[in-house]
């Protein structure tokens, strides 16, 4: 086997394994259904701007249709009853969720709370609270 091919094969194997491993970064999982009119409204009103917001840098969006089998890295998310449901996850656990969608103002105000929770959860793991610089629990 040629050395270049072996290195390429190894790199490809590592990349495939990395993709199959659960993500530990924070993300916002959008549980939706194709028959959900409220989900369609969210897609029209919020989805086009979401990637351009500070919230998306903290909680990048990941879509999952509730009619599809749930990926193993989301097995810990408890029951999804209503669509849309937005679940903030980090390090293999649920940080918080938004159930339903009324309008964009309501969504963004709820998102602020999720973004703050992600910051607190991250700080808990580091032993400090955001902004205090002290090793005190949040």
pLDDT digits (tens, 9 = 90+) for 97-112: 999 999 999 999 999 9
> Tokens 């028959």 identify what position?
35
Per-residue confidence (pLDDT) for residue 72, from 0 to 100: 95
Rounded mean pLDDT of 67-71?
96
Structural domains in the chain (count) = 1
Per-residue confidence (pLDDT) for residue 87, from 0 to 100: 98
Residue 86: inside a domain: yes
Residue 7: inside a domain: no
pLDDT digits (tens, 9 = 90+) for 26-59: 999 999 999 999 999 999 999 999 999 999 999 9
> Tokens 């656990």 identify what position?
93
pTM of the model: 0.72
Rounded mean pLDDT of 65-72?
96
Residue 79: inside a domain: yes
3-state secondary structure of 50: helix
Residue 88: inside a domain: yes
Residue 24 has pLDDT above 70, yes or no: no
pLDDT digits (tens, 9 = 90+) for 83-137: 999 999 999 999 999 999 999 999 999 999 999 999 776 555 545 444 444 443 4
Per-residue confidence (pLDDT) for residue 107, from 0 to 100: 98
Residue 110: inside a domain: yes
Residue 1: inside a domain: no
Per-residue confidence (pLDDT) for residue 18, from 0 to 100: 42
Per-residue confidence (pLDDT) for residue 121, from 0 to 100: 64
73 contacts 23 by C-beta, under 8 angstroms: yes
Residue 108: inside a domain: yes
Tell me, rounded to whole angstroms, the distance of Cα 110 from its chain centroid. Answer: 15
Tell me, rounded to whole angstroms, the distance of Cα 86 from its chain centroid. Answer: 8
Full residue range of the structural domain in which residue 118 is found: 22-126
Query: CATH number of the domain that 58 lies in?
Result: 3.40.30.10
Residue 79 has pLDDT above 90, yes or no: yes
Residue 3 has pLDDT above 90, yes or no: no
């Amino acid at each position: 086997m040629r050395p270049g091919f072996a290195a390429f094969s190894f790199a490809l194997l590592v990349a495939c394994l990395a993709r199959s491993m659960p993500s530990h970064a924070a993300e916002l999982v959008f549980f939706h259904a194709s028959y959900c009119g409220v989900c369609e409204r969210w897609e029209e009103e919020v989805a086009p701007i979401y990637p351009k917001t500070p919230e998306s840098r903290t909680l990048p969006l990941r879509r999952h249709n509730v009619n599809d089998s749930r990926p193993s890295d989301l097995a810990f998310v408890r029951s999804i009853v209503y669509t849309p449901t937005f679940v903030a996850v980090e390090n293999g656990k649920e940080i918080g969720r938004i159930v339903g969608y009324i309008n964009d103002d309501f969504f963004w105000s709820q998102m602020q709370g999720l973004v703050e929770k992600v910051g607190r959860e991250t700080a808990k793991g580091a032993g400090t609270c955001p902004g205090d610089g002290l090793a005190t629990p949040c």
